[in-house]
Structure 1
Amino acid sequence: MTAISSRRDFLRRTGLITLAGSVGPTMSVLPAAAAGGSGYLDRATWDGWLAQFFTERKDGMPDQPNDDTATGKSGGLGWGASYLLAGFLRMYHAYGDTRYLDQLIESIDAVLSVRDSKRGVTDYRGRSLPAWRANHPYTVGAVDLRDADGRPTLQVRAGRVYSSTTSVTVMPGPEPHLFGLDVRHAQSGNRHVYSWLSMDPASPDYAVKRLYNDYPAVVLATALDLRETPAAAGVPAPGTYRMTSLPTIFAVHTGMITYPIAQFVRTVLTTPKLLARRHYRTKALEYLLAVRAAVAVHDAEYQLTERGEGTLIWLKGSPQQWDGSEQPINQTLGWGQTVSELARITGERTYRERTAAMTAMFRGQLALDATRGSYSWRYWPTFGTIHNGYAKTGSPDTDVSVYNPNLATPQRQVEDVSHAAISVEFAGAAYKAGLGLTKPEMERLTRTYTRNVATERDGFGATTFLRVNGTGTTDFGYAGQAPRWMQLAAWDPMVYEHSLAVFDAYQPTPENQGGVFGWMLGNLAYLQQYHRRHRV
């Protein structure tokens, strides 16, 4: 990797600087040769990729539920369709063509039609809410075991993601009141056998107690007695049973999906020629109600730290790997993106206070590199239980987490460039709402990209490091997320120039990427919006 010492150094090496020593006035830099000979800054490229996206119907189609019912894997709306929605809006801002708004409305209507409350499906608590649940592979799971008469007796839980790959085999014991469990997590290859358990709460081999005491036992299993009284059911019946990844609604999915919808609302309400059109006005007001309802689903997760910083937690008992703990920084701020838009749209105190408090949380996580004048930060908030670790208390009632009662190894990894882009988007949105970081802080955040993230590979061209502190190598799957840092181009156009150079170096096409994905459309639209408007 070759370090980039300055924007001028980067422009000179990539041929973007003119002989006169300045960047050409049109900013038509690196007209990358995409499929069919058109450039990444060519509108026809985006339109062609869009048509192929809907033809292929890969993950992220706006009419597909966010859980695993359509493709066998959840998150398609949160990590796919959300970028498509953003892409439509960015293309409108780039070209002023309301055709993109009409396509956006059609896609938003599809997304709203598959909310849990519209489908009649529920989360792990049995609630059908106006948002989008997820499950496999992101959630933990459980299986309810029954006795020989079909009566519920014992729930076995696994504190691992990909829990739907977990099987639980009940083995008959040497005596009628004893049984064994063979728990296998196929995705990781881990297995643990629990020999001769009892359903007698007074026994030292009581299944609930044994699994708790043996935790983690590589499979991270715990158990819950499903009986109202010990006499209500017997031991689990022999057989092999498959776990289910339990459904829940991720705040970050809600934020990613609703953020471009909220941006559409604000665009219509602040653009007189759009507001004058009844269809757009009606849709904007309809969508505003939907966005507010979806965001409110997570009100119980929002908390203030002792320092008054806003963060989200996973509710204890929710099917998360570390339920009861603070959510990753990017997941809090992914939800915060929409909150900041609602603050701008409505001016309501709650949204404004929460946006400011989440900004304070992010500010508190930014570590300054005095030499580079840039920031880096962790994936998990440093004030949280996951960053610091926690131990079993001896009782699930007082433990931090139901599914993982002990975390002996603190999680302190530095944030990667893809997840970091969510936090950067929040920073840009909050700044525009007047509730964000200060201008000097935004300049330092921009240098995180230009001095930490951006780099070149000798003989190849522009790429990025994996992490925000300028470490780790990557491929286009991560480097291709560079345009998602475009909010920072307002402080240094090198963010745009380098992002475009990344696309030129890797030459992504639907053919060499295995198809068109939502993030490709969102990122390409970001490049074209900045190219056309010199702002986002």
Structure 2
Amino acid sequence: MSCLRKICIALVVALLFLIPVQAVNAATNADTLKNLFDKVDNQSKWKASSNKPDGYQICYTDSYVMRAYLLMYQSTGDKKYLNSFTSFADSVLARRDNVVGKTDFRGLRLPGWSSNHFDPKQNMHYVMATGMIATPLAQFATVVKSDPALASYNAKANIYLQAARDAVAIHEKPGDSRYIYSDNNWIEDGNAMYLKRPLNMSLAYGSALLAIYEATGDKSYLDRGTKIANYFKQQLTVNPATNGYYWKYFPGHPSYGNVIEDLSHSTLGTEFAYLSYKCGLFNNNDMQRFANTATKTLARSNGSVAERLNGSGTSTQPGKFLHWLWFEPWAPSLLDTSYNIVKNRTSTYPMELIGIAMLNYFNAHGETPDPVDPAPGPGPGEPEPEEPEPPQDTQRPVVKVNAPATGSQLKGTAVFQVSASDNTGVDKLVLGYGPSAKGPWTEFKGTAELKSGSATEGNWELSWDVSGLADGTYYVLARATDAAGNMVFSPAAAYEVKNAVPEPEPEEPEPPQDTQRPVVKVNAPATGSQLKGTAVFQVSASDNTGVDKLVLGYGPSAKGPWTEFKGTAELKSGSATEGNWELSWDVSGLADGTYYVLARATDAAGNMGFSPAAKYEVKNKVENPAPAGNLIQNGDFSAGLQGWSNKNNSAKISRDSAGNPALTNTSNYDFFQEISLKPGNYKLNARTHAGNSKKAAMIVVVYYYRDGSHSTEYAFKHQHAGRTWESMREMAIKVPSTVVKARVFLTVEPGDNGYHHFDDVTLTAVK
């Protein structure tokens, strides 16, 4: 059954059940809402802010504006909104890369909208931008083709639909792993599909897939949209206090993996969830949980809106909350809540404009959800259902932990017995434990088994191995869920874990214990040496059974206290019983002065040997930082990385056989020096040595202007002729009066993962 057909059936079923439609407060009628939209709709403002062929500007302005006009037509039937839609859509299509002659980072001219939003040197096709732009283009086709009275718009509908298909196809082929923002590296895990990017980006693309499916009936788009929906379901967490859903911004990311999704980015998830429901991928229970998040977590009684989906923070742009109106059929109060947020608006921004259009749409349509979860309907030629489906199950199960008795002492493996009942049957039962009656809860391993009775009223068992837990008090909680997703928790039961540890009785005497300490010595740099930048320490270590670990530490005196070097010492020659080890120490961040270094070797038996403390003089201060007039600080890297920014630690200090320092970097924009420049002419010089990259060494200069914008003005490249130090061609730079500062980047031309070396970087004014 098509998605549109399901909505129609839902309306019929609602009438049969005499479910009342709740609209906005009577004083806030359709005319009031339409007038509100027209008052804040500023087309000249929208066009002025998106008049460049940049994918990010287009997706954050035109895509929202187009979607708003389409919703307003669906709300009012006024074709002026369709005409406004086509005006913006024609402009969006005229700004595609293949129309304006713009190429992406690979040199390809594609039917999409690339951007250098994240990387000023490379145009990328970002999947989120593609999804946001393609979705309303496809939805226009659905609206036009479903109404014979709109036949005059068919030609444009066909053009827009094909444009949407062409754009999403850019992301169907595997991306080149050399480029970090390719947005084409889809991961398919069973029946799920996603990008290793923030979750909202996959969901924006999923909305476009489902919108194209709705317009064409092509199931290949539904199949991919279904896989993205399956991944989204895996990331949804139920808040037991509200029975609402929340999810994380970037699941699995080392830095952002635990960050709860914010209000702004959640808007891409709300539309995808609604489109998924229309296509049978989410059920009413899911929609009710999304609605609960809107009404019980985000919206507050004082009129403010939470910033994150767990209720934390306060949003400075509460108008974005209106995007949760997609769940109005499951929470009619959202109409009044949303209207109160925007009723006094005299101007707005595109993201809020679509929210005001949604307010018009749901007030006009008064949709009611299906009384049961959506299921496949009749196929072509088959009769429509004559009777409404039965009401949805909303009764929660009843669950209780019966054994062991609360307060019992546990050790080894304890068998838990739980009774659970439900009117339609318990579908799943899990147990969890935590340090208090309020959690946090860790789920038991294994699967609970129904031992007697039935799913509607039965006794379940699950074993819990506590042998690996520290002795102490633990609380156990059971959770029962039925097929409709109704969930209930048992009271938390307290237990005392006490694992007795019997004394071992060896049958045979153990072999003699190794008590010999390793012997360790710091060989280089020689004690008394002066250090700056990065010093390589060489240490000899020996032991009768073998050195298991070697670490170095530094301190202010020969007696410490000691701070361990970062990194892991490597065995460079010899063996664990007698070998030579190396570990680098970056002293560029230390204050000048005297430091002592000590090495510690440990064998497998835990015996430790310490070297005598070696004394060194750290001197990072650059006596002669640069030739006269040089504006680059520490351009010869004699002071390590001082004066330079090194994001993500991408660049490293390397040394030649004579110990001379140089800068080593790959293709990135992480390593740079920021300089305040007066208007005028300058010359830039540097030396470079070939690394393993087949691409050119490159120095990039980016200007930053008073208005906050920036541009890449110079990208000087040097292709190495051999494997020696070579001087780059002197680079002439002109700085206009509008520039407030500049950044000089040392990098490698994009194209592979290799590196090059840089040294003696100077920037001097030309008089």
TM more than 0.5: yes
Q: Kindly state the Cα deviation for residue 47 of structure 1 after the two structures are TM-superposed.
A: 2.3
Q: 1:246–1:40: structure 2 CA closer, same or farther, 3 Å change rule? A: farther
Q: Give 1:134's aligned residue.
A: 115
Q: Give 1:444's aligned residue.
A: 289
Q: Does 1:112 align with 2:73?
A: no
State how 1:57-206 maps to structure 2 within 5 Å.
Answer: 57-60=47-50, 63-66=51-54, 75-135=56-116, 138-140=117-119
SS at match of 1:375: strand
Q: Which string of whole-angstrom CA distances, capped at 9 and with x for unpartnered residues, describes residues 490-512 of structure 1?
A: 111122221112224xx3322xx
Q: Give 2:37's aligned residue.
A: 46
Letter paired with 1:306: D
Q: Kindly state the Cα deviation for residue 29 of structure 1 after the two structures are TM-superposed.
A: 5.7
Q: 1:528–1:271: structure 2 CA closer, same or farther, 3 Å change rule? A: same
Q: Give 2:231's aligned residue.
A: 361
Q: Kindly state the Cα deviation for residue 285 of structure 1 after the two structures are TM-superposed.
A: 1.2
Q: Give 1:508's aligned residue.
A: 345
Q: Which string of whole-angstrom CA distances, capped at 9 and with x for unpartnered residues, describes residues 73-99 of structure 1?
A: xx2211111111011101101110112
Q: Give 1:518's aligned residue.
A: 350
Letter paired with 1:264: F
Q: Which string of whole-angstrom CA distances, capped at 9 and with x for unpartnered residues, describes residues 173-192 of structure 1?
A: xxxxxxxxxxxxxxxxxxxx
Q: 1:59–1:306: structure 2 CA closer, same or farther, 3 Å change rule? A: same
Rounded Cα–Cα distance in structure 2 between residues aligned with 1:487 and 1:56: 24
Counterpart selection for 1:473 from 297, 309, 314: 314
Rounded Cα–Cα distance in structure 1 between residues aligned with 2:21 and 2:128: 39
Letter paired with 2:191: G
Q: Kindly state the Cα deviation for residue 28 of structure 1 after the two structures are TM-superposed.
A: 3.2
Q: Say if 2:238 and 2:245, in contact at 8 Å, map to a contact too.
A: yes
- Structure 1 gaps of 5+ residues are 1-22, 33-38, 68-74, 141-243, 313-325, 390-408, 511-515
Q: Give 1:493's aligned residue.
A: 332
Q: Which string of whole-angstrom CA distances, capped at 9 and with x for unpartnered residues, describes residues 432-458 of structure 1?
A: 122x2122122112111111111133x
Letter paired with 1:487: W
Q: 1:308–1:268: structure 2 CA closer, same or farther, 3 Å change rule? A: same
SS at match of 2:301: strand
Counterpart selection for 1:254 from 125, 130, 133: 130
Q: Kindly state the Cα deviation for residue 412 of structure 1 after the two structures are TM-superposed.
A: 2.3
Counterpart selection for 2:24 from 22, 27, 31: 27
Letter paired with 2:266: A
Q: 1:310–1:534: structure 2 CA closer, same or farther, 3 Å change rule? A: same
Q: Tell me the TM-score normalized by structure 2.
A: 0.42
Rounded Cα–Cα distance in structure 1 between residues aligned with 2:21 and 2:133: 37
Rounded Cα–Cα distance in structure 2 between residues aligned with 1:287 and 1:437: 27
Bigger radius of gyration, 1 or 2? 2
State how 1:276-291 maps to structure 2 within 5 Å.
Answer: 277=151, 279-291=152-164
Percent identity reads 27
Q: Give 1:175's aligned residue.
A: none
Q: Kindly state the Cα deviation for residue 376 of structure 1 after the two structures are TM-superposed.
A: 1.1
Rounded Cα–Cα distance in structure 2 between residues aligned with 1:25 and 1:351: 34
Q: Give 2:270's aligned residue.
A: 424
Counterpart selection for 2:146 from 270, 294, 305: 270
Q: Say if 2:248 and 2:258, in contact at 8 Å, map to a contact too.
A: yes
SS at match of 2:109: coil
Q: Give 2:510's aligned residue.
A: none
Structure holding more strand per residue: 2
Rounded Cα–Cα distance in structure 2 between residues aligned with 1:302 and 1:439: 32
Q: Give 1:308's aligned residue.
A: 191
Q: Does 1:337 align with 2:207?
A: yes
Letter paired with 1:452: T
Q: Which has the higher contact order (CA 8 A, sep 6+)?
A: 1
Rounded Cα–Cα distance in structure 1 between residues aligned with 2:40 and 2:342: 15
Letter paired with 2:49: D
Structure holding more helix per residue: 1
Q: 1:377–1:54: structure 2 CA closer, same or farther, 3 Å change rule? A: same
Letter paired with 1:519: M
Rounded Cα–Cα distance in structure 1 between residues aligned with 2:77 and 2:31: 18
Rounded Cα–Cα distance in structure 1 between residues aligned with 2:227 and 2:260: 22
Rounded Cα–Cα distance in structure 2 between residues aligned with 1:347 and 1:498: 36
Q: CA RMSD in A?
A: 2.4
Q: Tell me the TM-score normalized by structure 1.
A: 0.60
Q: Which string of whole-angstrom CA distances, capped at 9 and with x for unpartnered residues, describes residues 317-342 of structure 1?
A: xxxxxxxxx01111111111110011
Rounded Cα–Cα distance in structure 1 between residues aligned with 2:153 and 2:324: 29
Q: Say if 2:263 and 2:320, in contact at 8 Å, map to a contact too.
A: yes
Q: How many residues align?
A: 340
Rounded Cα–Cα distance in structure 2 between residues aligned with 1:57 and 1:289: 23
Q: 1:500–1:129: structure 2 CA closer, same or farther, 3 Å change rule? A: same
